[in-house]
Amino acid sequence: MDFQKDSVHIREKKLSNGKRSLYLDIYSNGMRKYEFLKLYLVPEESRKSKQQNKETLHEAETLRIQKLAEITKHPFENNAGKTGLCWFIRHCMSMKTTGTASVYRNVLGLAEKFFGNDFVVENLTKDKIKEFFGFVGNAKNRNNPKKKLSTTTQHLYCSVFNTVLRHAADEGLVPYDISKRIKIVQKDENERQYLTVEEVQLLARQKLSYPYKKAFVFSCLTGLRESDIERLKWHDVVEQDGFTRIIFRQKKTKSMEYLDISAQACKIMGPRKDGSEMVFPRFKCTSLTNKRLRKWIKSVGIDKHITFHCARHTFAVMMLTIDTDIYTVSKLLGHKELSTTQIYAKIVDKKKQEAVTRIPIVI
């Protein structure tokens, strides 16, 4: 299956009335054509309009997947009328929050090699899935065929596959979520980079003239993910009980969050503007943003490999360092599981241990 030759993308065309018309950009057999969907995005001036756009985009994504299946000659069912590999393709191509498109393609490629034409969602068993996970564990690294996939990559691929199984249960294709009964390989626990309070203070004293600089320091003080800062509008910021509160839906988890922020964070946002305006206009976190960020941090004498997401780590460690209880930190970060927050507690324990070793000799 060649994903390079055939592709279908959703595009937007701005209209004079402020709406955006959605259309499909279709490339197949060396030819490009466009297909307007008669679906429109409206200006996001309220939660209702945001929800409306979300539903419209979901409908457009369904049409995009159907068109992709059509041009790649893969029906959604196999010859026996069962839900086959193409159903897997449909969900891999639509699950945007699990990873990048290359991850989906790699998982799909492994599934094709292992299952072949026998992939039928309804017939999957616990033992068969375990066999597939074992197959993933022995798969070779594409960039270095002499090495196996790292445990982190194995964990990611198996997690993507399990997500597909959960979707199968949600759609009633299988009677229960079989993925809950299968343990997957644990990923390597990477060292989480973060900044100290003193380092954040050093950055905050710099002239925050670029949007990514303001947004980064803001994230250090609030723990907000870059994806949520990108979408933050002034109507999400409210005054309540003497505090400034941000009410938003996390892009990653889809859960509603109610986050009170400090006066310092409010200062970085600047004067309040119209509710439909972005709090951090022109800010978008990309690979280029991270390159500029690292260059800026290095210029002030901080020798650490910092990405934008490290601001979230910084906030978590800072909260635990000032003795905020771990349950409260978990809520501030919007974590669903307390175990996710406990990773930061390990960092704080390490800092305490290092402090103990520096106690002067007195006896």
Boundaries of every domain in the chain: 1-72, 74-188, 197-357
Please give the average pLDDT of every successive group of 10 residues along the chain, which has 363 residues.
Answer: 63 92 86 90 86 83 72 47 54 50 74 75 78 87 77 82 75 68 65 88 90 94 94 94 91 87 93 93 86 93 92 93 89 86 81 74 73
Looking at residue 272, what is its pLDDT? 93
Residue with tokens 């006896």: 363
Fold of 197-357: hpI Integrase; Chain A (1.10.443)
* Architecture in CATH of 74-188: Orthogonal Bundle (1.10)
Work out the burial of residue 227: count CB atoms within 10 Å of its CB; fewer than 13 is exposed, 13-18 middle, 19 or more buried.
Answer: middle
298-307, long-range: CB within 8 Å, 24+ apart, which pairs?
A: 300/202, 300/203, 300/206, 301/202, 302/195, 302/199, 302/202, 302/203, 304/193, 304/195, 305/193, 306/193, 306/195, 307/193
According to DSSP, the residues that pair with 35 across neighbouring strands are 24
Distance, in Å, from the CA atom of 338 to the CA atom of 333, rounded to the nearest integer, reads 10
Looking at residue 128, what is its pLDDT? 84
Structural contact between residues 139 and 148, judged by C-beta atoms closer than 8 angstroms: yes
Token reading at 38: 């008669």
**Nearby residues of 259 by Cβ (< 8 Å), 6 or more positions away:** 222, 223, 224, 245, 246, 247, 248, 332, 334
According to DSSP, the residues that pair with 256 across neighbouring strands are 249
Write the single-letter amino acid at 64: R
- Angle at which helices 85-94 and 101-115 cross, to 10°: 170
Rounded to 5 degrees, what are φ and ψ at 232?
-70, 125
According to DSSP, the residues that pair with 61 across neighbouring strands are none
Looking at residue 2, what is its pLDDT? 41
Distance, in Å, from the CA atom of 210 to the CA atom of 292, rounded to the nearest integer, reads 10
The three-class DSSP label of residue 10 is strand
Distance, in Å, from the CA atom of 88 to the CA atom of 3, rounded to the nearest integer, reads 15
H or E element that contains 195: none
Looking at residue 79, what is its pLDDT? 40
